[in-house]
């Protein structure tokens, strides 16, 4: 099981704090926005004497309500297609374990969520990655690149849409290309759509379940963690219309007995969240996104494409090695007793040479902290030994 | 992934209910006793605006308090040895995945908790079983039988103590024999001790961590599910002093991000449960155990050893095939519009021919329902076509 660069940096952040340095966490996907009051209220109102197992596939009323929720997005699934899991993590794990045999391969455009690889390892499967290009805004790599990787071992494609870490939202044309490939080779399409509520450009969110003719191939992964700021509940879902996959997934669900009871109660209540609550959170992300991306692109040598969804961007920095830069930010730098924790992009690529000057930045901090973070980044790039900005400044000085 | 016989029977129980038949559930390990009020209160008093991820290894204060809890049982572990998991299920899964490679083997005395096999399959490992004998009260099979199975692929032994499904409690002598074997072959000892609070005979509970000289080999599995009637919280723990195992387990923990937040809060509060609450539950099980075992052994042809712990017994019935008998009880029989759901023991054995006239009975029902259940069993054995009691009665009639 590989170690992620973020995890290696965590002790440095702790050490910085102990030295009295305030650390702005732009490295994690833990939203700072409030959980819906409906969820907190539901937890307070639990009136049970025994906190029992729930059915292995989840509480029926919750699954029914989720079906209605998906219908609002024109996702045509029924209660029986929805299996509740302990977070999206378990949904991905069970999807891989149920659909893949040891030695099987799945194709993943990258940068990609680092733990997909961990879950593939658990299933004994292998990820074959195709790098998306920051210059293309991290759009889907040419479908021919996917086709080149297809072998008899290839069993599926995994996408995340809107994308973590890039914030990219796949277009209809791109989704159609994926659909045709999935159909041609009869592959599974694992689609992680946990950020569907966060699409900012007016471009449509296209679910894997919107694609005609591959309904039996789609395994959708969902979670309430990001949508409702409920990461701690550990409630996700695996959605499939494929009876055989469903049967396999249920066996894994039964072995682990039950998803968390209280999390399900709170998540079910969250489906009744006030539309104004959802809109406020949405607007907050819209504002932060504009503020952050504008700010990043104003810093000399920094480039960020404009993310269309989720609450991340992958930016290119004028540094030699973003692993080292992120480490240096925590261990050797502070500006007015503050510093920033960024996620080196190397953790989102399987190839060791990719993304070496890229970082993921999550806009899960309020605007004033984002402003400070941007200032810290700008100042850091002026003095970091491996910074091209510093080198340029130095060479100008000697002229 | 194998299908368990209990799960195959569940739809029949549902159909019986729909026909207006009351079904007594002696088939499951879901206690009917109340959750500690301290836990329910802690949930009501949660005063957070955001339900965030917890650390991957669990909330620090909870782990600290758990260490103190274990010290009460002379289990010498520290906070850093304790990793919080999503139920005991995840603890077993992560233990196997962290210690075993695909193709590795573990030896398990059986009858054994059915899902161990499922978790071994997830890790790509194989269970080698040794049958314990009902005539010996399900005591540990001779250690020479274990030794015969040891090959270079053997990496560990898994025990459950007190035992699910048999209620057996391993003696000091048996535990010493296990210790010596573990030491001789440098094996892991996976020890599931979730029923430690439920030991009824005055015989000591011997934890794997009580065994001297194998501290680095022990991986202890725990859970609050049974202890505090909190199955729905999904909170367990994996405890190891082995740094390498710990490092591996933490990686799996990080990949799934966090155990459930609210479950941890409730479980931590449960550690302060009133001793009277614990004693009441304990006494209730003591009474039920005596009542059930006496009642079983009074029924013609039925035999149950006296379980020393947990809240199960495995009994022998005078039937041809307990899978068929348990099915028949749900589909073809009722006595005064009531019937019983028993767990066929075949699900607790890996060999297809073992336990064919045994069932597991959980005493998770109040005494009056246990009384009714015993009566139903007695009447059923008089009329079940494959019952030796019925056959005997018929042959006596024709004399």
DSSP states of B40-64: HHHHHT---SS-PPPPTT--HHHHH
Q: How far apart are CA B193 and CA B175, in angstroms?
A: 13
Cβ of A46 and B50 within 8 Å?
Answer: no
Concatenating the DSSP letter of every residue in B244-311 gives HHHHHHHHHHHHT----HHHHHHHHHHTT--HHHHHHHHHHHHHHHHHHHHHHHHSTT-B-----BTT
User: CA neighbours within 13 Å on the CB side: how many for B174?
Assistant: 21
Token digits of residue A165 = 């870490």
**Measured between CA atoms, how close is A30 to chain B, in angstroms?**
7
How many residue pairs bridge chain A and chain B with CB atoms within 8 Å of each other? 166
What phi, psi does B46 have (nearest 5°)?
-60, 125
Helix A5-18 with A322-331: angle, nearest 10 deg? 20
Task: Return d(Cα B190, Cα B240) in angstroms, integer.
Answer: 10
Nearest residue to A362 (alpha-carbon basis) of A302, A285, A297: A285
Residue A238, SS3 per DSSP = strand
- Under a CB-based contact definition with an 8 Å cutoff, are residues A150 and A117 in contact? no
**Residue B110: enclosing H or E segment and its boundaries?**
strand B105-110
Contact B139, B168 (CB under 8 A): yes
Over its length of 399 residues, how does chain B's per-residue pLDDT go in tens digits? 667 788 889 999 999 999 999 999 999 889 999 999 999 999 999 999 999 999 999 999 999 999 999 999 999 999 999 999 999 999 999 999 999 999 999 999 999 999 999 999 999 999 999 999 999 999 999 999 999 999 999 999 999 999 999 999 999 999 999 999 999 999 999 999 999 999 999 999 999 999 999 999 999 999 999 999 999 999 999 999 999 999 999 999 999 999 999 999 999 999 999 999 999 999 999 999 999 999 999 999 999 999 999 999 999 999 999 999 999 999 999 999 999 999 999 999 987 788 999 999 999 999 999 999 999 999 999 999 999 989 888 888 877
Question: For residue A2, what is the nearest residue in chain B, using CA coordinates?
Answer: B251
Cα distance between residue B37 and residue B229, in whole Å: 11
Contacts of B54 in chain A (CB under 8 A): 232
Choose the mutation target among A28, A30, A52, A270 for the interface with B, i.e. most B CBs under 10 Å. A52
| Cβ-contact B200, B67 below 8 angstroms | no
**Cβ B51–A1 below 8 Å, yes or no?**
no
Q: Kindly write down the DSSP assignment for every residue of B298-356, as one continuous string.
A: HSTT-B-----BTTEEEEE-SBS-HHHHHHHHHHT--BTTEEEE-EEGGGG-SSTTTTT
* Cβ pair A49:B30 closer than 8 A: no
Name the phi and psi angles at A23, rounded to 5.
-110, 120
Contact between residue A62 and residue A217 where contact means Cβ atoms under 8 Å apart: no
Quickly count: other Cβ atoms within 10 Å of residue B47's Cβ: 6
Q: Is A343 helix (H, G, I), strand (E, B) or coil?
A: strand
Q: What is the pLDDT of residues A251-261, one digit of tens each?
A: 999 999 999 99
B338's tokens: 């009531």
A-interface mutation test, from B34, B44, B87, B260, most A Cβ less than 10 A away: B260
- Say yes or no for a CB contact (<8 Å) between B35 and A46: no
Q: With H, G, I as helix, E, B as strand and everything else as coil, classify residue A309.
A: strand
Residue-wise pLDDT for A5-19, tens only, equals: 788 899 999 999 999
DSSP assignment of B204-245 equals PP--GGGSTT-TTTEEEEEESTTTTT-GGG--EEEEE--HHH
């Amino acid at each position: 099981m590989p170690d992620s660069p973020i995890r290696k940096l965590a002790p440095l952040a702790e050490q910085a704090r102990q030295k009295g340095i305030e650390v702005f966490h732009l490295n994690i996907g833990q939203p700072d926005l409030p959980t819906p009051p409906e969820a907190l209220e539901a937890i307070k109102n639990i009136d049970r004497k025994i906190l029992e197992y729930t059915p292995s596939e989840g509480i029926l009323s919750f699954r029914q309500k989720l079906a209605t929720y998906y219908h609002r997005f024109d996702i045509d699934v029924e209660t029986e297609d929805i299996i509740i899991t302990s977070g999206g993590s378990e949904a991905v794990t069970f999807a891989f374990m149920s659909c893949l045999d040891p030695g099987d391969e799945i194709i993943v455009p990258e940068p990609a969520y680092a733990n997909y690889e961990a879950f593939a390892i658990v299933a004994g499967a292998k990820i074959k990655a195709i790098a998306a290009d920051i210059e293309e805004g991290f759009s889907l790599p040419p479908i021919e690149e996917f086709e080149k990787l297809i072998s008899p071992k290839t069993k599926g494609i995994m996408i995340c849409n809107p994308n973590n870490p890039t914030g990219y939202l796949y277009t209809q044309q791109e989704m159609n290309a994926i659909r045709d490939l999935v159909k041609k080779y009869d592959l599974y399409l694992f689609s992680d759509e946990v950020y569907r509520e966060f699409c900012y450009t007016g471009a449509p969110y296209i679910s894997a379940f919107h694609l005609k003719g591959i309904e039996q191939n789609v395994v959708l992964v969902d979670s309430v963690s990001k949508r409702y700021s409920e990461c701690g509940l550990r409630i996700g879902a695996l959605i499939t219309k494929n009876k055989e996959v469903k049967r396999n997934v249920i066996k894994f669900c039964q072995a682990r007995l039950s998803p968390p009871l209280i999390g399900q109660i709170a998540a079910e209540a969250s489906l009744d969240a006030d539309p104004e609550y959802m809109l406020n959170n949405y607007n907050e992300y819209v504002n932060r996104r504009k503020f952050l991306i504008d700010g990043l692109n104003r810093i000399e040598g920094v480039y960020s494409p404009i993310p269309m969804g989720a609450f991340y961007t992958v930016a290119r920095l004028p540094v030699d090695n973003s692993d080292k830069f992120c480490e240096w930010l925590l261990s050797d730098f502070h500006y007015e007793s503050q510093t920033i924790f960024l996620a080196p992009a190397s953790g989102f690529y399987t190839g060791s040479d990719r993304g070496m000057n890229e970082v993921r930045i999550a806009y899960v901090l309020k605007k004033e902290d984002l402003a400070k973070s941007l200032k810290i980044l700008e100042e850091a790039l002026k003095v970091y030994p491996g910074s091209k900005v510093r080198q340029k400044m130095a060479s100008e000085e000697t002229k």
